[in-house]
Amino acid sequence: MRQIHLFEQPDRFVAGTVGAPGERTFYLQAVDGVRVVSVALEEAQVTVLADRMAQLLDEVVARTGTALPPAGEPDTEALAQPVDEEFRVGAMGLAWDGDSGEVIVEAQAPDEDNDVAEQTLLEDVDEGPDALRVRLDLSRARAFVDRARRVVAAGRPPCPLCGQPLDPAGHVCPRSNGFHRGIALS
């Protein structure tokens, strides 16, 4: 039986990490009162979700003439503890509900049958992978984008030649013909 963790305007919906740069695990976390659901995902998935949500917000503004509310205080708090992973994200969906004026985000567990996963995204069906579904107003969606981008940017700095993340000891840069490139990370 499929379990959908549904949050209607939660107290908090954020991207966050556990661990040191280079060893971070990324999470989406929804908090409403004492109820907390955390799902693990890749850094690239956080980046794509933030970028797509920003594009969706821009499109909503352009089509409806609705102005985005001003940014509030940035959420800089750590993830709610303990961070218990419900599942690792296999697919994500993003939608705009024009009737309610809400952004809908869904993160879904992997499914052996990719066709089933695509058919169940943002759908209320009994069969399929577990999912986290969150409904956000424009202000909270904007806050999510801002925080997600800050979280991703807080990782290891990129190599100035190839763009790959640098470890404190440097890395083997493909643009340096495989020679070790050591760069101080002061």
- Give me the count of residues in the chain: 186
Q: What domains appear along the chain, each with residue ranges and CATH number?
A: 4-155 (3.30.2450), 158-186 (no CATH)
Tokens of 168: 């404190």
Residues 6+ positions from 152 with CB-CB distance below 8 Å: 15, 43, 46, 47, 50
pLDDT value, residue 99: 93
pLDDT value, residue 40: 98
Average pLDDT, the chain: 87
pLDDT digit string, tens, across residues 92-133: 999 999 999 999 999 999 987 655 555 667 777 778 899 999
Q: How many CB atoms lie within 10 A of CB 165?
A: 14
CA-based angle 75:147:34, to the nearest 5?
50
pLDDT digit string, tens, across residues 125-168: 778 899 999 999 999 999 999 999 999 998 777 777 777 777 76
Peptide bond into 69 cis (omega under 30): no
